[in-house]
Amino acid sequence: MSADKKTVANSTDSVHAGVPVTRPHHSLGLSIEPTATFTFANTAELERYMRGEDPDPNREEYGRYGNPTVCELERRVADLELAEDGVAFSSGMAAIATAVLSLVKAGEHIVLFRDGYRRTRQLVTQTLARFGVEHSIVPSGDLSAMSAALRDNTRLVIAESPTNPHVFCVDLSELANIVKARGRIRTLVDSTLATPINCRPLEFGVDLVVHSATKSLAGHNDVLGGVVVGPQHLISLLRDARGVLGSVLDPHAAFLIARGLKTLGLRTERQNTSALAIARALEAHPRVERVFYPLLESHPSHPAARAQMRGGGFMVSFIVKGGRSAASRVIDAVKIPKIAASMGGVETLIEQPAIMSYSELSEEELANVGINPALVRLSVGIEDTADLVQDLLQGLSA
């Protein structure tokens, strides 16, 4: 990693960041607190709590406002991202939706980059539009277009880095500088594909970072969750909104995500290595038209990725020559990857966005959102690198 990059988390942080020195009953592992409500010894204790005078900072009244298991997960992710505070939600989309609802109101304006998760785009362009929130969509990573799109009523810029599915990396420092110069605008960066092992966006001046904890943080494709981290005064707004909206994370899910965090560093290192090897092998194959991976020199956001990413992450997307049907044949021919949605887990997953994620769109509509019908999205797991490369090459040759 070059000297001009910011720091990133490592395997030691994955295991120990945010973990208390001692837990109740001196347990090594995190305990699950499956309770919907919390008791008070007497009325005086309740009154102290309601006045904010309870000596226990983790004291809660009701499960929708907090839970000890969830609180530890929030501290751990916040520490991994070098954030003051964090708040967890029942899914990644619950995290994004609550953040946006907490920062924007009717008559205000959001700027969103073109390439990104389709549900985030639908939230902004369809759901929020019904309530009078305006928006502009600009090309992926185009900060000049983003700057030009800012208005007097702009309150939020949403970006992913890297993006889904074309893995564009936005220049986070420049993004933050442009937005801060305008004042009264917040930046929200979805760093799900990066993880704090590869990049910590807050260090570049971003206001809030969101993770779909379903993906790499949990890492085993067996739980849903989301986390937003940032400065305490902003996170408190999101925590209050969570109490109203009810998008609280279940303590059992929090336990699974926290357990997954322990191997985040190891898993990410393997995925970084395998994904880059796969991307280079695909780029050299005659039946592949184009490969999208941020650490390939051919990727348009390669300079930004090299400047701020420790590794390129787990996602590789590529276009198969021959169109939609040819891409489908490749997916059907590979043996190791499973055809499934989601990403970031220990199993390698594969899908054709035109068929799965964007199945309701026509060819023209796919073009409008930048999805080639022959695009294949690969979420690289932790299987042996050579096995994955060999399987993909035989799939292309089948």
pLDDT 10s digits, 202-249: 999 999 999 999 999 999 999 999 999 999 999 999 999 999 999 999
- pTM for this predicted structure: 0.94
> pLDDT at position 175, please?
98
Domain 264-397: what homologous superfamily? Answer: Aspartate Aminotransferase, domain 1 (3.90.1150.10)
Q: Which amino acid is at 48?
A: R
Instruction: Supply 25's token pair.
Output: 């009953």
Please give the Cα distance from 47 to 64 (Å, whole number): 19
Instruction: Give the CA angle between residues 250, 254, 260 to the nearest 5°.
Output: 150
Q: Would you say residue 2 has pLDDT above 60? A: no
pLDDT 10s digits, 160-187: 999 999 999 999 999 999 999 999 999 9
Domain 264-397 in the same topology as domain 11-261: no
Instruction: Give the CA angle between residues 117, 373, 288 to the nearest 5°.
Output: 105
| 134-138 and 154-160 strand pairing | unpaired
Q: From its phi and psi, is residue 230 left (phi > 0), alpha (psi between -120 and 50) or beta?
A: left
Instruction: Give the CA angle between residues 115, 118, 119 to the nearest 5°.
Output: 140
pLDDT 10s digits, 236-275: 999 999 999 999 999 999 999 999 999 999 999 999 999 9
> pLDDT at position 5, please?
66
List for the chain the helix, strand, coil content (%; round to 5): 40, 15, 45
pLDDT band (50, 70, 90) for residue 120:
very high
Please give the Cα distance from 76 to 258 (Å, whole number): 8
Q: Would you say residue 27 has pLDDT above 90? A: no
Catalytic residues: 64, 117, 190, 215
The CATH number fitting domain 11-261, selected from 3.40.50.20, 3.40.20.10, 3.40.640.10, 3.40.1550.20: 3.40.640.10
- The domain segmentation of the chain, as residue ranges, is 11-261, 264-397
pLDDT band (50, 70, 90) for residue 56:
confident
Element (H, E) at 353: none
> pLDDT at position 148, please?
98
How does DSSP assign 222-274, residue by residue?
A: S---EEEEE-HHHHHHHHHHHHHH--PPPHHHHHHHHHHHTTHHHHHHHHHHH
Smallest CA-to-CA distance from 188 within 301, 111, 291, 89 is with: 111
pLDDT 10s digits, 311-363: 999 999 999 999 999 999 999 999 999 999 999 999 999 999 999 988 888 88
